Structure 1
Amino acid sequence: MHTEHRHAPAASRKRIVVAMTGATGAALGIKVLIALRRLNIETHLIMSKWAEATIKYETDYHPSNVKALADHVHNINDMAAPVASGSFKTDGMIVVPCSMKTLAGIHSGFCDDLISRTADVMLKERRKLVLVARETPLSDIHLRNMLEITRSGAIIFPPVPAYYIRAASVDDLINQSVGRMLDLFDLDTGDFERWDGWQTEK
């Protein structure tokens, strides 16, 4: 009897889905894409129409320049995109920044666009899902949604400034937040100062 042997696929680059919504903080998503590109991580970008508007309002980038930072870009309405299926292997997903609307949609399982559908895939496949939630102050609705989605396996990451680094610029604060976000995927950007205890001046 002839037995067909299937060879294991060759080791490939790590693959992460990056989604950007219209919440304030477009620079965070841009910096994540830049860091992942530098780390040679394959990126799949999904961007909402309001993310594009926020990019133009908050940064010097055009959405086309941001899309050029990713290896693959998927239309938010393309529910047949590879990332919409659990059979498409990834190492996780980060929604940065994540609006409360998107967080609510993910929490309810209401997959009406590719961002919420791909996040749903991460949860059902038990893959890493990081939501960089941008809102303040928080209502009880926001908090309930965050608690329930955390219980489902997602990680809520509010980009809280690390004052102990005594940042000289907003860019330093962004780099620290992005570095901590990517720590959750076991990726080290090497771009920020880690806490090493109280430093006494000599």
Structure 2
Amino acid sequence: MRTIVFIVILCLFMQGCSGFTSMDKEDLAAEYGPEDSLDYISNNKDDAPEGRSTGNLFGWNKSGSTEPDLDEDLSLHDLLDRQRIAEGLSRILVTSPDVSKAGVLITNEYALAAFEPDSDASSEAAKHVKMMVEAAVPYFFVTVVTDNPTMIQDLEAFKGMDARSSEGREALHHTIDTMLETTEQPTTPKEKAASMQEQRPSP
């Protein structure tokens, strides 16, 4: 049973990350290379030789079925650092020519981004922002974006909130509703693929 749970969690996580390789550079409005904001997925830069980032190195680990630590519970928290993803995403978003300021909140089920457009084409900017956020979080996360910069502070109010807080959850849902009312959510390739799967006839 533990093995099945691990496989499901791993598959969901990898699906969320796979979007980085499937998007055009024009859509992302940025070209990612060494020493950029994607370093948020790396280990501590201070640990790297000569202070260089390890963000472009492969990650690898080997486990055996007889290891004693396998009895420990494995959860999504072991694979997903919400704070570092939020920090990295906010930095990545402002490298886009369409975004001058951005705030990102990652909860246990939502990826929320508020930004200030740096151009008149806010609808295209919203699409780019949503695609970049979707690419960095697990597939099952619901991504909501808004081009209303005043909502950056609204999202910041939830910084460090306990996911088990019922009052906080109610306020969060109200904020999400406001984001949806303020900004029409663009349709992304992820949502198109999900829609096609839903429309596919059952065998």
Higher helix share: 2
TM-score (norm 1): 0.31
